[in-house]
A and B are shown apart, each in its own frame.
Chain A
Amino acid sequence: MSKHMITLNVNGEDHDIVVASNKTLLEVLREQLNMPDTKYGCGTGECGACSVLLEDNSAINSCLTLAATMDGKKITTASGLEKGDKLHPVQQAFIDHAAVQCGFCTPGMVVKSVSLLAKNPRPTEQEIREGLEGSICRCTGYVKIVNAVEAASKAMAGTAG
């Protein structure tokens, strides 16, 4: 096993850490940095619970990313989306629309929604559903999640201009 010294910026804060070659970004976040907001679902890139944002707002599966390959990268997790004590509009919309039941998929779902809206600020319902493919929710049936993303889209358009 090889060890690798990396600097990983998570939610605006640099962490100089030594990671083992076989540790995924998800394991490093949860177990080494004690940041359990990013969830372990399937471990094989199918459920989206482990989604985190790269600097360009694209979402990746942290369970299929080797931490050692992330030296110098800036990532954002669900808990890094709020500004001060104000929730991100997507987080607020998830609460307002009861788009959370058990909550396990929620961090990944919120991260994916932020990624979708960064690329397409006014998505149609179909585009929301396509954008959230790869994030599995076993509780809500997705309707409330789609409603929340639509509401967040409107709220963000309002704040932008």
Chain B
Amino acid sequence: MSSRVLTDFDLLLPGSLEEALEILDRERGAVTVLSGGTDLLVMMKAGFEADKVMSLALLGDLNRLEFDSATGLRIGARTTLAQLVDSPEVRQHYPALWQSARIFATPQLRNTATVVGNLLRGSPAGDCSAAVAALGGTLVMATAGGGRREIDIDDLWVSYGVTARADNELAVELRLPAPDSGTASAFKRLTRVNEDLAKLNVAVCLQMDGDTCKSARFAMGCVAPTMIRLPAAEAIVQGAKVDDETLARAAEAVQQDISPIDDKRSTAEYRRSVAGVYLKRAVQQACGFA
């Protein structure tokens, strides 16, 4: 039908988590994990070689989405973007994540693509990766024999397309902290049309005490080899009154945090000129004074 065909591979379809973990333990890096497949199958059609692919399709109990006001949000490894969009609790308590999910790719991709898959793709352009990086959280990794470890989202992305996941580990759950009454968050993305990958995306999460920011986490995508935090901009906003002057200084400080390049979606020059503006607008959106 087309040159975009999948070359031969063996497909493994474990029926339980323990079976999946045993396969990973046995095969190590020789098996590629397939969840929603919206990235991996496209890459395989473009020439990425995978001899053995393990699909998580039969692991139905990994698609949970549970919110608890004391412990926060638990997102299973198979939970789709569409599930987030349909969740009133995500919309209310995690605006940055909900906003990123609502405009993520296209409706039919949202029905298949998973949140955890977006994180593990390790792309600097991932929309919900930006939101999760700003909200903070941990990814729970499982290994055969009952082993568990948690990777802080700040430690997940090592370099372009490379994560801290070991090859015998399976990500089973993403945990986001519970927000309190002073938590404000937002996500913004710059694209030509909605279906596009971002030219630039940004997510912010601030702990506010009245007009003053107690602490802030800012994340920006498409401006470095991985999704990054913006420590220079965060330092300016933390402890300060969030007003036009603070935001202008934070927008200026972003230049120290980013290292954008030219690619087919945008240029380094353009990204540098909009980065501060988008950070400022995201904070304004989060704090409700647009």
Contacts and interface: CB of A to CB of B under 8 A. Distances in A.
Interface of A: 1-2, 4, 20-24, 27, 30-31, 40, 42-46, 48, 51, 54, 58-61, 64-66, 68-69, 112, 115-116, 130-131, 133-135
A142 to B, nearest CB: 12
Contact of B55 (A42, A43, A69, A116): A69
Nearest to B36: A64
B267 interface: no
B109 A43 contact: no
Nearest to B82: A58
B10 A64 contact: no
A51 B53 CA distance: 24
B108 A112 contact: yes
Contacts of B12: 2
B194 A130 contact: yes
B37 A64 contact: yes
Interface of B: 1-2, 4-13, 34, 37-38, 41-42, 45-46, 53, 55, 57-58, 82, 105-109, 111-112, 194-195
B57 A64 contact: no
Contact of B11 (A60, A65, A66): A66
A46 B7 CA distance: 20
Contacts of A130: 107, 194
B111 A58 contact: yes
A66 B6 CA distance: 10
B283 to A, nearest CB: 26
Given A21-B10, A43-B2, A59-B108, A69 B57 contact: yes
B195 A46 contact: yes
Given A43-B2, A59-B111, A134-B195, A22 B45 contact: no
A61 B112 contact: yes
B8 A59 contact: no
Contacts of B112: 60-61, 64-65
A21 B111 contact: no
A21 B53 contact: yes
B36 to A, nearest CB: 8
A1 B45 contact: no
A25 to B, nearest CB: 11
B42 A24 contact: no
B111 A60 contact: yes
Given A1-B8, A61-B112, A134-B106, 20 more contacts: A21-B53, A22-B6, A22-B8, A31-B1, A44-B42, A45-B38, A54-B111, A58-B111, A60-B108, A60-B111, A64-B38, A64-B109, A65-B37, A66-B41, A68-B11, A68-B13, A131-B107, A134-B108, A134-B109, A134-B195
Given A22-B9, A59-B111, A66-B55, A43 B4 contact: yes
A20 B7 CA distance: 11
B45 A44 contact: yes
Nearest to A64: B41
